[in-house]
Structure 1
Amino acid sequence: MSKQAPARKSLKELMKSGEGLSGFPWPDRYVDFDIAIRRDGTWTYRGDPIRRQKLCQLFATVLQRDEEGAFWLVTPAEKGRIDVEDAPFVAVEMVEETDDAGRPVLNFRTNLDYWVAAGADHPIRVSVDAETGEPSPYIEIRDGLEALIARPVFYDLVERAESVDDGQATELVVSSAGARFSLGRIPL
């Protein structure tokens, strides 16, 4: 009895789902792509916005992050570092559903039309700027690549949060797919 290898998804399927083309050794050939992703999720080439979403989705399928946190477009033939101002994606919409167990599931849509459900595999985290105290919320999309949660979506998330007091601070917590995520603590 022979064991069949799992079927690989087509590039079109990867572009639609937001999954990445990975699992191959990175090539030695380096190319300067002159591509950047702005904080608002706009992909640029030589400083000009890339207006074709399908092209951005195609590039996103080969987007990877190395151990030092740098972002790369990596194909089996070549690699090139790209600049990312904050996160490579932006979560622009959130929809709450209920799973079979009656638990809430928070689904996020990115600027490239990828949907992910917050949970153990797609955690939410909030980073706070030490100087300004400004929160920056994120959700992991895949392989260490995150989406910055847009301000209106974050406000909706905060409205859904429950307050948990521990005597020293109030923590805002949201639940999704059986996982709990802290949105921050407010001292009492």
Structure 2
Amino acid sequence: MSGPGKANDLLAQIPKTEKGLPPVHLWNPTFCGDIDMRIARDGTWYYLGTPIGRKPMVKLFSTIMRRDGDDYFLITPVEKVGITVDDAPFVAVTLQVLGEGEAQVLRFTTNVEDVVEAGPEHALRVETNPATQEPAPYVHVRVNLEALVHRNVFYQLVELAVPREVDGQRWLGVWSHGVFFPIGLDPA
């Protein structure tokens, strides 16, 4: 199932759309097995162990991705194949800050050029590694899919952080679309 032509076969099955993403949530094809495709933590896509160097191809593959439970798939109307994702399928590589205070809007752009604004529909969350205490921030991109926030972008968020009490604890966090997103406990 993982020959060199498999990736091209999948691309050929993607229906052409005028605008927006293909409706992968509506497609329920038969599972055809796993292919040797992996998305590394840094957002690099690999096929048969080799980085996919053509950004338009990566971007197109990203539009047919779906996560069911803990598993990731590339889905077309006729085929569903499993892929490996090391952490999150996308990386938020830039941040644009619009406004300030509670009216502030945080606009993220991913490595595959998805643009999302943190808010009620696109939550920002931070997981902390219990062993290293290193934070891993994520922003919701689309149904069940998140972007790992690049370290440089996270530093920008830290610079924007303000204190606020949440459930009796003092947190540092950021505002976007009227929602406060805690990013770490306030050491003060």
- Normalising by the residue count of structure 1, what TM-score does the alignment of the two structures yield? 0.84
Question: C-alpha offsets along residues 65-106 of structure 1, whole Å, 9 cap, x if unaligned?
Answer: 00x21111111111111100000000000001139xx81110
Match of 2:43 among 41, 62, 71: 41
Q: Secondary structure at the match of 1:23?
A: helix
Q: Which residue of 2 aligns with 1:91?
A: 92
Question: How does 1:64-103 map onto structure 2 within 5 Å?
Answer: 64-66=66-68, 68-98=69-99, 103=103
Q: Which runs of 4+ in 1 moved over 6 A?
A: none
Aligned residue identity for 2:54: R
Is 2:160 the counterpart of 1:154?
no
Q: Which residue of 2 aligns with 1:177?
A: 177
Q: Is the 8 A contact 1:169 1:187 kept in 2?
A: no
- The two structures, once aligned, show a CA RMSD in angstroms of 2.2
Q: Secondary structure at the match of 1:86?
A: coil
Question: How does 1:22-61 map onto structure 2 within 5 Å?
Answer: 22-61=24-63
Between stretches 39-48 and 178-187, larger displacement belongs to: 178-187
Work out the CA distance in 1 between the residues paired with 2:162 and 2:22: 34
Q: Is the 8 A contact 2:27 2:75 kept in 1?
A: no
| Runs of at least 5 residues in structure 1 that lack an aligned partner in the other structure | 1-8
Q: Secondary structure at the match of 1:130?
A: coil
| Runs of at least 5 residues in structure 2 that lack an aligned partner in the other structure | 1-14
Q: Is the 8 A contact 1:31 1:78 kept in 2?
A: no
Work out the CA distance in 1 between the residues paired with 2:156 and 2:147: 16
- CA offset at residue 20 of structure 1? 4.7
Work out the CA distance in 2 between the residues paired with 1:38 and 1:29: 23
CA spacing shift, 1:20–1:85, aligned 2, 3 Å: farther
Q: Secondary structure at the match of 1:30?
A: strand
Work out the CA distance in 1 between the residues paired with 2:51 and 2:89: 14
Match of 2:19 among 9, 13, 24: 13
